[in-house]
Structure 1
């Protein structure tokens, strides 16, 4: 056999292996933003309302407290991490068919990793550079995804019969 034929066979095998791999569709950036806004209204706003009017008693007490906003963000982070680790989705991500998974195994991530991802997201949002990285990467990873080795993928809805 000639070397050229061996090389062609090797390329064909590689092409077949690539076709057999499941195709990963990365979540679009606009859908990720819409999912974040949905989560803010469905999870974070009720937490802030509860802290403001049930725990603190008034808007003025909430505004004068340094601990109330921190408590709100911490509760949101815990709920977010719990949902991501258990289901891979928050309500906003589920609405837009997005799932957060490990970038190599495509399995759900642990609670600690999801919590660290949220903290890294806060850092990314603060410096803004981390939120712009998906525009320059093929895999559409933001800085918090790079730090935690995660990806946000689009999942297809199961067909209802």
Structure 2
């Protein structure tokens, strides 16, 4: 069996994973909220509390995925794992949820979203603050 080493995941793979997660996790939540709980798109657009709750539930679901398997469906499709930089193991639910909250805040301020393009290790602001890293396994015998 080859020895495994983790490397920071490329930015493009993280974007791909995020898009997959948006479609697989948030779209069903948005659809159910819009058409099963509320009375259509007009009610949804005028109900800021419902929108807020959907995104909190999305954060809880992704945090559960990270704490149980270290992967969301998008991370699994991209073969990425979220690890704690201190221990090298999967993150706790609270750390994952705090990471999600920081992600929302850093996206609100564009600077936080662009930090990964200016750092040598390519970590985002929410990863730096929570000491987490999206990694891709690299096998000892890999050429790349």
1:85 to 60, 67, 71: 67
Q: Does 1:142 align with 2:124?
A: yes
Structure with more contact order per residue of length (Cα contacts < 8 Å, sep ≥ 6) = 2
| Aligned match of 2:135 | 153
* SS in structure 2 at match of 1:57: coil
Worse-superposed segment, 21-30 or 94-103: 21-30
Quick one: distance in 1 between partners of 2:28 and 2:21? 11
TM-score normalized with structure 1 length: 0.80
Contact 2:115 2:123 in 1 (8 A): yes
Cα deviation for residue 24 of structure 1 reads 2.7
Quick one: distance in 1 between partners of 2:16 and 2:36? 29
| Aligned match of 2:52 | 70
| Aligned match of 1:120 | 102
Count of residues paired in the alignment: 137
Q: Does 1:101 align with 2:101?
A: no
Quick one: distance in 2 between partners of 1:90 and 1:153? 13
Segments of structure 2 that go 5 or more residues without pairing to the other structure are: 140-144
Cα deviation for residue 29 of structure 1 reads 0.2
Structure 1 stretches of 4+ moved >6 Å: none
| Aligned match of 1:51 | 33
Cα deviation for residue 156 of structure 1 reads 5.7
Contact 1:97 1:156 in 2 (8 A): no
TM-score normalized with structure 2 length: 0.89
Q: Which deviations, in whole Å up to 9, do the C-alpha atoms of 1:82-112 show, x marking residues without a partner?
A: 0011111100011001111001211011101
* SS in structure 1 at match of 2:128: helix
RMSD, aligned α-carbons: 1.6
Q: Does 1:36 align with 2:42?
A: no
